Amino acid sequence: MTESGNDAALLGRLRSLVQSAKTAHLRDRRSVLALETDIRLLRSELTRRCAALTDQMNHAGRQVTAINAYARTGSLARSHAQTRSPTE
């Protein structure tokens, strides 16, 4: 499953658990405990996914910084080459 598909599945599970929680007062203790366990598991999965997304964003930011530095260096090299006289 793709990451975006996995994200959609996680959010779908969250919606389902929220609906179950809304009717929890009508259920027995065992159902409420099972719901609590499901919510805790989903929360840990969502936390891991958020951490993975944060890592991806940080990596992309570092790549952009490196690309910008490379572009500045290339620009400086071109401007330096243009300022040199042809007799040098």
Alpha-carbon torsion 11, 12, 17, 23, what sign? Answer: positive
Query: How far from 6 is each of 18, 23, 25, 34, CA to CA, in Å?
Result: 18, 26, 30, 22
Which amino acid, one-letter code, is at 30? R
- Judge whether 9 lies within some domain: yes
Query: Which pLDDT tens digit goes with each residue over 6-21?
Result: 888 988 998 888 888 8
Tell me whether residue 27 is in a domain: yes
- Please give the tally of structural domains in the chain: 1
What confidence tens digit (pLDDT) does each residue in 17-64 have?
888 887 777 667 888 888 889 999 999 999 999 999 999 999 999 999
Tell me the C-alpha distance between 21 and 33, whole Å: 11
3-state helix, strand, coil in the chain (%, to 5): 90, 0, 10
Domain range spanning residue 21? 3-83
Give a yes or no: residue 23 inside a domain: yes
